Structure 1
Amino acid sequence: MSSTEPACPCGRLDAKRRPVPFAQCCGRYLGHFDATPAPDAGSLMRSRYSAFVREDAPYLLATWHPSTRPPQVDFEPGLKWLGLEVRMHRVTGGQRAEVEFVARSRLAGRAHRLHERSRFAQEQGRWFYVDGDLL
């Protein structure tokens, strides 16, 4: 990765344990959702984290399952996302999966952790975030 290519916010590393550039990681999904959907629930989860970091509401709404999608996504002013740890990714059925993650953030000088087990569904070749349980 050259110094002109920013690392992906999701923290994915390549085989040599180097940060993967945004354009080669989540950027290909955020910038091209219609043509390049995330291939699995784990990749969708990572790309949604990157979308939160970049405050990309259209991507978040497009990847939210219609049955649970809110009318809009609001971002907390001053919130800084600090990192993502994906702890588990498993297929739970033919077109269903779960991803457990911890996302760290800071707001007004205070650290926060979001620990969630998210559920995803695949429909017509695309994965969607359905909902999640805080852990």
Structure 2
Amino acid sequence: MAACPCGRGGAYADCCAPLHAGAPATDAEALMRSRYSAYVREDADYLLGSWHPSTRPDALSFDAPKSQRPVWLKLDVLRHLVTGADSAEVEFVARYRIGGGSVVRMREHSRFVREDGHWFYLDAVQD
């Protein structure tokens, strides 16, 4: 079985695949990890569906030539902070490479909200 890209150590089928198929995330960190896996798998539908409607872009495309798209290498979750009954923040570092270039380290502090039992990515906080 293929390992899940999210870094939890389990198989994709037992980790992020159920969320990609419609199961709700248990918390903001699980949603964030599943979104990282969706970027790895280029699953635009899942990414848009898990993005809060108030901040979601109209479209998300992975149509650029393969040599110009990121190859996601690793995810490290630095912190998961519950900020309210239906809100949380996750800080993480994701590493990727485009083409044969150097590894890029992207650090993000993201906010999430829960509505009707489903977590949504809201936005990234500028530290």
TM-score (norm 2): 0.91
Gaps of 5+ in 2: none
Q: Which residue of 1 aligns with 2:120?
A: 128
Q: Which residue of 2 aligns with 1:15?
A: none
Q: Which structure 1 residue ranges, 4+ long, deviate > 6 Å from structure 2?
A: none
Query: How many percent identity over aligned positions?
Result: 54
TM-score (norm 1): 0.86
Q: Deviations over 1:10-64 (max 9, x none)?
A: 110xxxxxx200010011111x21xx11111000000000000000000000000
The AA in structure 2 aligned to 1:79 is P
In structure 2, the CA distance between the partners of 1:46 and 1:89, relative to structure 1 (3 Å rule), is: same
Equivalent of 2:18 in 21, 25, 28? 28
C-alpha contact (below 8 Å) 1:65/1:130 kept by paired residues? yes
Answering whether residue 87 of structure 2 is matched by residue 96 of structure 1, we say: yes
Answering whether residue 102 of structure 2 is matched by residue 106 of structure 1, we say: no
Q: How far, CA to CA, are the matches of 2:6 and 2:32 in structure 1?
A: 9
Q: CA deviation at 1:134?
A: 5.0
Q: Which residue of 2 aligns with 1:69?
A: 56
Query: What is the count of residue pairs matched by the alignment?
Result: 122
Answering whether residue 42 of structure 2 is matched by residue 55 of structure 1, we say: yes
In structure 2, the CA distance between the partners of 1:106 and 1:134, relative to structure 1 (3 Å rule), is: farther
Q: How far, CA to CA, are the matches of 1:37 and 1:55 in structure 2?
A: 20
Q: CA deviation at 1:74?
A: 2.7
Match of 2:125, SS state, is strand
Q: How far, CA to CA, are the matches of 2:120 and 2:6 in structure 1?
A: 18
Answering whether residue 3 of structure 2 is matched by residue 7 of structure 1, we say: yes
Match of 1:6, SS state, is coil
Q: How far, CA to CA, are the matches of 2:84 and 2:69 in structure 1?
A: 39
C-alpha contact (below 8 Å) 1:114/1:134 kept by paired residues? no
Q: Deviations over 1:62-87 (max 9, x none)?
A: 00000000011133533200000000
